[in-house]
Amino acid sequence: MSNPVARMVMASPSPSPSVTSTAAHQAADQPLAGADGLKNAVTSRGGFLSDLVDTLDRLAVQVGSSRLSVWDLVVLLFVLALVVSIAWGASRLSSRVLRSATGLDQTQRLLAEKLVSLMIWTIAILVGIDVLGIDLTALTVFSGAFGLAIGFGLQKTFGNLIAGIILLMDKSIKPGDVITITDAGGMSTFGQIRRIGIRAVSLTTRDQKEYLIPNENLMINQVENWSYSSKNVRIQIPVVMPYACDIARVEHLMLDAARSIKRVLAAPPPTVWLDSFAERGVSFVIHVWITDPEEGVGNVRSDVLKALWRLMRENGIEVPYPQRDLNVRDTETMRHVIEALRGTSSPHTN
Residue 199 sits in a domain whose CATH number is 2.30.30.60
- pTM of the full structure: 0.51
* Beta carbons of 43 and 54 less than 8 angstroms apart: yes
Mean pLDDT computed over every residue of the chain: 76
Crossing angle of the two packed helices 247-259 and 298-314, in degrees rounded to 10: 130
- Per-residue pLDDT tens digits for 91-105: 888 888 877 776 666
Residues 218 and 239 occupy one common structural domain: no
Residues 219 and 241 occupy one common structural domain: no
CB atoms within 10 A of CB 276: 10
In a domain? residue 9: no
In a domain? residue 40: yes
Q: Which of 178, 204, 225 is the last residue of a domain?
A: 225
Residues 246 and 279 occupy one common structural domain: yes
Residues 41 and 111 occupy one common structural domain: yes
CA distance 61 to 65: 11
pLDDT recorded at residue 40: 60
In a domain? residue 17: no
CA distance 307 to 304: 5
Radius of gyration of the chain (CA): 41
CA distance 173 to 226: 10
* Beta carbons of 226 and 293 less than 8 angstroms apart: yes
For residue 305, what pLDDT band results from cuts at 50, 70 and 90? very high
CATH number of the domain where residue 270 is located: 3.30.70.100
pLDDT recorded at residue 125: 82
Which of these, 271, 243, 241, lies nearest to 255 by C-alpha position? 271
Residues 298 and 252 occupy one common structural domain: yes
- Per-residue pLDDT tens digits for 255-286: 999 999 999 999 999 999 999 998 888 999 99
- Look at residue 204 and tell me whether its pLDDT is greater than 50: yes
φ and ψ at 179, to 5 degrees? -130, 160
- Per-residue pLDDT tens digits for 324-343: 777 777 778 878 887 888 87
- Per-residue pLDDT tens digits for 172-191: 888 888 888 888 777 888 88
Lowest mean pLDDT among 32-46, 198-212, 270-284, 289-303: 32-46
Q: pLDDT exceeding 90 applies to what percent of the chain? A: 18
In a domain? residue 4: no
Q: pLDDT exceeding 70 applies to what percent of the chain? A: 68
Identify the H or E element spanning 68. Answer: strand 66-69
Q: Indicate the residue type of 314.
A: E
Our count of domains for the chain comes to 3
Q: Is 303 helix (H, G, I), strand (E, B) or coil?
A: helix
Q: Which domain holds residue 208?
A: 168-225
Q: Is 16 helix (H, G, I), strand (E, B) or coil?
A: coil
Which of these, 123, 221, 135, 139, lies nearest to 172 by C-alpha position? 221
* Beta carbons of 72 and 37 less than 8 angstroms apart: no
- Look at residue 205 and tell me whether its pLDDT is greater than 80: yes
